[in-house]
Amino acid sequence: MRFDTLIVGSGLAGLSLALHLGERQKVGLITKKSLAEGASYMAQGGIAAVLSEADSIESHVRDTLVAGAGLCNEAVVRHVVEEGREAIQWLIDLHVPFTADPEEAGHFHLTREGGHSFRRIIHAADATGAAVQQTLIEKVEKNPNIIVLEHHMAIDLITASKVGLKDNRCLGLYALDCMENKVKSIAADNTVLATGGAGKVYLYTTNPDTSTGDGVAIAWRAGCRVADMEFIQFHPTCLYHPKAKSFLISEALRGEGGILRLPDGTRFMPLHDERAELAPRDIVARAIDFEMKKRGIECVYLDMTQKSPEFLRTHFPTIYSRCLELGINISKEPIPVVPAAHYLCGGVMTDLSGRTDVQDLYAIGETACTGLHGANRLASNSLLECLVFSKAAARDILEKPKGESIELPLWDESRVTDADEEIVIHHNWSELRRFMWNYVGIVRTRKRLERAQNRIKLLTEEIEEYYSNFRISQDLLELRNLVLTAQLIVKSAMLRPESRGLHYSRDYPEKLSDAYDTILKHG
């Protein structure tokens, strides 16, 4: 197969790029499961943009810089914020059903989340991701120039050096057809990684099962630099219930007056930060973690009982109904919550057009490190980043001349056999996620990081031996990518002798006077 542009990932970044390119190019879009599965689809809160007269570009820029704890690239922040209104208008023109303002005809309802000075989050009730994704999926499926390959997983990039050329171009990639368990060579003039984050490297996460760090691992193996991998955002409020896997309790609840309480009903956030429940996510997550460990409790509680049932059903229908299914009436009782791994602020280093270190290879969305988020992402800036950088990458791709056609090598399975023990994969996966949660979580120490590093070294050796001798599977590929991503996270964390944003070290509780990015490169 050959495409003008091949996109890996079907979240907001991938779908938006496909639509921007689909009028003028033959586009391939590969996704590990179905188009509708992924972190973007699960997004509840909304998209941050300056849309009201009371708000301003300067305010949104300032809030983003404050949350980023000195590590944001201000030029990138300003660029993204300034593009916000146009990005939202594009979605409105595509007929995304955003929630209307009940008090002001012709306007959309805006909510407020932690770290924001104004109401600037446009949303579709509490299922914004689903509303946006479903709208874009319908457009993609109607476009004959966009070929969707569901249940396909990228394995590795095919660079020019692999076919005997001397330059560092990306020519396409190998992909596993997960249904047929066959490997395909796919050629493309441009390849774009939009694979999302790496939440599944941790035991508790709000991310879907597909978030296994694929884009970061694939780009690293191809020679790209990665940056700021130590900054993992833990969402403060994931529903704590044995039957509620990865169910997020949106930050918008705290924006609408939700109070965090201990099991005995005591409010605790004012003791940790003057902004209380509306402090940035890293502060709220750390406060909850502190209270849980100090008191030996399994969770804390988010109290929305001061709001009427009608308000909760109208503003948070998804959360209201899901909790009710599990026997929790949020209008009468508080919601049990715990922090969980939520967002990767670092990733593959890119410029303002999404270009990486490898020619003709782009990275957009959560996979990329653009400089927007710094040491901590401001709530609801992630979907905005997807929209702005997909448009920028499309512009850059469309301005380039068409590449020459090069015959790609086929996948070689001549020296491997079928796996004899699948249990090795599942055991290693479980071990990785547990020690990453315990040693490289919300609060870190040098000793914990060293323990994690030692275990990762052993796992890496086991997995590489397994990968070299047996036929690949989706589980094996995901584990291989997760272990590499974990290695990059730990290495980055060990290179930061301070506490800043999402990286909190007991050994180095103070923030250094100079802010610097942690950049990892080969050699």
CATH number of the domain within which 120 lies: 3.50.50.60
Q: Where are the beta strands (DSSP E) in 42-169?
A: 47-48, 110-111, 121-122, 146-150, 152-159
pLDDT average, residue stretch 445-468? 93
Examine the domain organization and report whether 134 and 217 are in the same domain.
Answer: yes
Residue 414: inside a domain? no
Residue 121: inside a domain? yes
**Closest-CA residue to 374 (of 114, 63, 113, 85):** 63
Last residue of a domain, one of 341, 359, 383: 341
Q: Which domain holds residue 265?
A: 239-341
H-run or E-run covering 342? strand 335-344
What confidence score (pLDDT) does residue 188 get? 96
Residue 407: inside a domain? no
Examine the domain organization and report whether 36 and 148 are in the same domain.
Answer: yes
- Spatial distance between the Cα atoms of 433 and 339, rounded to a whole number of angstroms: 15
Examine the domain organization and report whether 319 and 357 are in the same domain.
Answer: no
What confidence score (pLDDT) does residue 144 get? 97
Percent of the chain with pLDDT over 90: 78
- pLDDT tier at 13 (50, 70, 90 boundaries)? very high
Examine the domain organization and report whether 175 and 314 are in the same domain.
Answer: no
Amino acid at 413: E
Structural tokens at position 497: 């002798």
The CATH number given to whatever domain includes residue 470 is 1.20.58.100
Residue 91: inside a domain? yes
For residue 469, pLDDT beyond 90: no
pTM tops 0.85, yes or no:
yes
Q: What is the pLDDT of residues 127-176, one digit of tens each?
A: 899 999 999 999 999 999 999 999 999 999 999 988 888 888 999 999 99
Examine the domain organization and report whether 333 and 473 are in the same domain.
Answer: no
Residue 264: inside a domain? yes
What confidence score (pLDDT) does residue 103 get? 84
Biggest alpha carbon distance in the chain? 68
What confidence score (pLDDT) does residue 326 get? 95
Active site residues per annotation: 281
Q: What is the pLDDT of residues 301-349, one digit of tens each?
A: 999 999 999 999 999 999 999 999 999 999 999 999 999 999 999 999 9
* Residue 254, SS3 per DSSP: helix
Structural tokens at position 197: 């984050």
How many folded domains does the chain comprise?
A: 3
Last residue of a domain, one of 309, 341, 373: 341
- Spatial distance between the Cα atoms of 300 and 240, rounded to a whole number of angstroms: 9
Examine the domain organization and report whether 101 and 205 are in the same domain.
Answer: yes
Examine the domain organization and report whether 269 and 161 are in the same domain.
Answer: no
Residue 408: inside a domain? no
- Spatial distance between the Cα atoms of 249 and 503, rounded to a whole number of angstroms: 23
pLDDT average, residue stretch 81-95? 97
β-strand partners of 343: 233
Strand 27-31 and strand 2-8: the pairing is: parallel
* Residue 237, SS3 per DSSP: strand
Examine the domain organization and report whether 355 and 310 are in the same domain.
Answer: no
Amino acid at 158: I
Examine the domain organization and report whether 119 and 136 are in the same domain.
Answer: yes
Q: Are 333 and 370 in contact (CB under 8 A)?
A: no
Structural tokens at position 360: 């003709």
Side-chain-facing half-sphere of 471: CA atoms under 13 Å: 12
For residue 243, pLDDT beyond 80: yes
Examine the domain organization and report whether 430 and 319 are in the same domain.
Answer: no
Rounded to 5 degrees, φ, ψ at 343 are -150, 140
**Closest-CA residue to 11 (of 34, 474, 374):** 34
Amino acid at 236: P
For residue 421, pLDDT beyond 70: no
Percent of the chain with pLDDT over 70: 99
Residue 429: inside a domain? yes
Residue 73: inside a domain? yes
Examine the domain organization and report whether 352 and 378 are in the same domain.
Answer: yes
Q: What is the pLDDT of residues 476-495, one digit of tens each?
A: 999 999 999 999 999 999 99
The CATH number given to whatever domain includes residue 331 is 3.90.700.10
Examine the domain organization and report whether 333 and 350 are in the same domain.
Answer: no
